[in-house]
Amino acid sequence: MMLPTLIKQALAASTLHFLLAQAQLSGSVGPTTSSAAKAAVKVCNIMDYGGEASATADNGAAITAAWNACKSGGQVYIPAGDYGLATWLELKNGKGVSINLEGVIYRTGSGGGNMIFVRDSSDFEFYSANAQGAVQGYGYEFHKDNTYGPRILRLYKCTNFSVHDIALVDSPAFHVSLDTCDSGEIYNMVIRGGNRGGLDGIDLWGTNIWVHDVEVTNKDECVTVKDPSSNILVEQIHCNWSGGCAMGSLASGIDIHDIEYNNVYTHHANQMYMIKSNGGNGTVSNVALNNFLGHSNAYTLDVDTAWSSMDAVAGDGIQYSNITARGWRGTCANGAQRGPVKMLCPAAVPCTSMAIDDFHVWTADGSVALHACANAYGAGSCLRAGAPTAYATTQTLTTDAGYALETTMAGELAAGLGLTASIAIPTIPASFFPGVPPRSAVLSSSTSAAKRTRVRGARGPVQTAW
C-alpha cells in the first residue's frame, strides 16, 4: 500500500532531527474567584434548607435547594457529619459558586446515572476545607451481585473549576468523569474502588485541564484521557493497585494533542500506560509520558492499534505522531509474556516521530525482556528510523542496568479491594509520588482557603522542556 506523502515527509524528517515531545497547559486553570470571596457573598448551609445529619436520610432536596439559592454567587456548605443521599443531584447553571463538603455523603438510593452531576457552570469549586469530606458510594452492594450503579461525580461543560481535598470511595461505577470541560484542576484526592473493571478513577475529555496529586485504587483506568482532548497535564499520580493510566479507547474522528504525564507511580496494574484503538481515523500528536515508576505490572508501555477488547472501527487507523516515553524505571511481571515495550502500529498508517529514551524496565519473573515494535518509526528501543517500509520486529534484552527503584511508594496496598464489603474511607496522604510533596498542601481546618484558591486561580501555563 502506498503511504501518503505527508507521512513519508514526516518519516524522512525524523531521521534528520528528532525532538522529544513536550506539552503544556494553554492558560490559567481553576476558579477565577477564591472560596472566601464566594462565601463572603452568601453561605447556603444545607441545614437551613431541610438537611438532616443522618447517613440514612435523603439530603438530595436540601443540597439542591442550597445550590439554587447560591448558584449565582456563594458557597453551599455541608458541615461535618453524616448525610444520606437517595435522590441524585443535578446542579446546573452555577457561576461563582463553591461546595464545601466537610462531612461524608453516603449513597442510599439505587438508581443509575450520576450521584452528583454538575453541568454548565463556571468559576466553580468542589472541595473540603478540612480535607475530611468524602462520598461513600457503597458500590459493593451492586458488585456482590455482579451489577453496576451510578457514577459518583460527573462534570459536564464546566469551565474554570476545581475539585480537591476530597475522598471518593467505592463507586458503583466510574468515580469521576470530566465531560467537555475547560480550564479545570483536580488535585489532592484519593479514589478507592473495588478490584473490578468498569470502576474508572478519572476519565477526562476537554481542554486545558490539570490533574495532579491523586491516588487511585481500582482495577480499571487510573487517570485516562478520552477524545477530544488537548493541553492536558497529569502529574504526581499514585495508581495504587489499579488498572493503570491510558488513552482511549479511540475510534473515529480522533483529535487529541498536547498531552503530558509526569511522575506516575504504578503497581499491580494491567499497564503503566496504554494507548488503545482498533482501526478508526484521526490524529493523536505531541504526547509526553515522563518519569513513570513502578513494579509488578502486566504491561508497561503499550501502544496497541489492534486492541482486541474493542470491536474494529472502519478506517485504516489513527495517525499517532510525536509520542515520547522518557525516564521509566521498575519491573514488569513477566518480560517474555508481556514485554516492557509494545508499540504496534498499522502498516497503512505507521506511527511517526516516536521516542523511547532513558527507559529501564526489567522483568520480575524470568531472564529476558522482549520489546515488540511494528510500523513504528523514531528513536530508541525497537523503533526504526529510515524509509517507510512495513516491518515487525522483536528486540530481546538479557539484562537492563539501572531499572531498580530508588524507593517504593508509601502506602502501597497489599491487595486489591474487595467487592462484597464496604471499603473504608481513607485519609488523604502526604505524598502521591515517592519523595515529592503535593503541588498544593493538603487542606486542614487551619488552612487559608482564600490564599490557596487565589494562587490556584492565578496559575498560568506550564512550560516544560527537555
pLDDT tens digits, one per residue of 133-145: 999 999 999 999 9
**What is the distance between the alpha carbons of residues 84 and 134, in angstroms, rounded to a whole number?**
12
Task: Establish how many alpha carbons lie within 13 A of residue 217's alpha carbon, considering only the half-sphere containing its beta carbon.
Answer: 24
Count of Cβ atoms closer than 10 Å to residue 415 Cβ: 8
Task: Say how far apart CA 196 and CA 416 lie, in whole Å.
Answer: 9
Of 203, 127, 134, residue with least CA distance to 170 = 134
- 369 CB-near residues (< 8 Å, 6+ apart): 332, 335, 336, 339, 340, 361, 362, 363, 396, 397, 400
7 pLDDT higher than 90:
no
C-alpha to C-alpha distance for 176 and 93, rounded to whole angstroms? 20
**What is the distance between the alpha carbons of residues 125 and 184, in angstroms, rounded to a whole number?**
10
Rg, Å, the chain Cα set:
22
**What integer is the mean pLDDT of 121-146?**
97
The span from the CA of 162 to the CA of 384, in Å, is 42
Provide the 3-class DSSP secondary structure of residue 14. helix
Residue 445's pLDDT is what? 60
Pairing mode, strands 244-250 and 159-169? unpaired
Per-residue confidence (pLDDT) for residue 14, from 0 to 100: 39
Is the pLDDT at 277 greater than 90? The verdict is yes
Give the active site residue among 212, 268, 295, 371: 295
Percent of the chain, pLDDT > 90? Answer: 89
Distance separating the N- and C-terminal Cα atoms of the chain = 36
pLDDT band at residue 5, thresholds of 50, 70 and 90?
very low
Is 143 in the active site?
Answer: no
Residue 248 has a pLDDT of 94
pLDDT score recorded for residue 11: 38
- Going by pLDDT thresholds of 50, 70 and 90, the confidence category of residue 79 is very high
The band of 446, judged by pLDDT with boundaries at 50, 70 and 90, is: low
Fold of 242-412: Pectate Lyase C-like (2.160.20)
pLDDT tens track for 377-407? 999 999 999 767 899 999 999 999 999 999 9
pLDDT at 8 over 60: no
> Is pLDDT at 452 greater than 70 in this prediction?
no
- Judged against a pLDDT cut of 80, whether residue 325 lies above it is answered with yes
Active site residue 295: yes
- SS3 state of residue 221: strand
Helix (H, G, I), strand (E, B) or coil at 334: strand
What pairs with residue 461 in β-bridges? none
Q: Where in the chain is the domain with CATH 2.160.20.10?
A: 25-233+434-466, 242-412
Predicted confidence at residue 187, as pLDDT, reads 98
What is the CA 210 to chain-centroid distance, rounded? 10
Task: Note the pLDDT tens digit of each residue in 11-49.
Answer: 333 333 445 777 789 999 999 999 999 999 999 999 999
As beta bridge partners, residue 94 has none
Provide the grid cell at 363.
Answer: 522483568
DSSP for 53-98? --TTS--HHHHHHHHHHHTTSEEEEE-SSEEEE-S-EEEES-EEEE
pLDDT of residue 447: 52
**Which of 165, 200, 220, 304 is an active site residue?**
220
How far apart CA 272 and CA 149 sit, in angstroms, is 27
Please list the residues that pair with 313 across neighbouring strands: 279
Give 67's contacts (C-beta < 8 A, 6+ positions apart).
44, 76, 89, 91, 94, 97, 99
CATH of 25-233+434-466, one of 3.30.379.10, 3.90.1200.10, 2.160.20.10, 3.40.50.1360: 2.160.20.10
* Grid cell 464489603 in the structure block, residue: 421
In this predicted structure, the answer to whether residue 450 has a pLDDT above a threshold of 70 is no
Q: How confident is the model at residue 456 (pLDDT cuts 50, 70, 90)?
A: very low
pTM of the model: 0.92
Q: In the predicted model, what is the mean pLDDT of the chain?
A: 91
Mean per-residue pLDDT for 265-280? 97
Amino acid at 78: I
What is the amino acid identity at position 329? R
